[in-house]
Amino acid sequence: MRTGTLDPMGTEKTPAKTDPQRPRARTHKERVREASIERILDAAEELCAEFGYHGFTLKDVAARVGVSSTLIHYHFNGKESIFEAVWARKVPASTQNRLDELRRYAEAAGDNVTVEGALNAWVDPDLRLHLEDRNYWAAIGKISAQANSAAGWGAAKMTSYFNPVGLALVDLLKKAMPDCDEETIFWGFHFLSGAMTHNMARTGRLDELSHGLCSSDDFASIRKHMVTFMAAGFKAICAASRKDKLE
Instruction: Kindly report, residue by residue over 18-63, the tens digit of the pLDDT.
Output: 555 666 667 877 777 888 999 999 999 999 999 999 999 999 999 9
Q: Which amino acid is at 37?
A: I
Rounded Cα–Cα distance for residues 50 and 28 (Å): 33
pLDDT digits (tens, 9 = 90+) for 218-242: 999 999 999 999 999 999 999 999 8
What mean pLDDT comes out for the span 181-190? 97
What mean pLDDT comes out for the span 123-132? 95
DSSP 15-74: PPPP-TTSPPPPPHHHHHHHHHHHHHHHHHHHHHHHH-GGG--HHHHHHHHTS-HHHHHH
Rounded Cα–Cα distance for residues 144 and 94 (Å): 11
Instruction: Identify the structural domains of the chain with CATH numbers, from first to last.
Output: 26-76 (1.10.10.60), 90-246 (1.10.357.10)
* pLDDT tier for residue 246 given thresholds of 50, 70 and 90: confident
Rounded Cα–Cα distance for residues 241 and 245 (Å): 6
Rounded Cα–Cα distance for residues 186 and 193 (Å): 10
- Rounded to whole angstroms, what are the CA distances from 153 to 27, 84, 149? 36, 10, 10
Q: How many alpha carbons fall within 13 Å on the CB side of residue 12?
A: 6
pLDDT digits (tens, 9 = 90+) for 186-214: 999 999 999 999 999 999 999 999 999 99
User: In this predicted structure, what is the pLDDT of residue 20?
Assistant: 57
Which pTM was predicted?
Answer: 0.83
Q: Please compute Rg for the chain using Cα positions.
A: 25
Sign of CA dihedral 79, 82, 85, 87: negative
User: In this predicted structure, what is the pLDDT of residue 204?
Assistant: 95
pLDDT digits (tens, 9 = 90+) for 89-114: 999 999 999 999 999 999 999 999 99
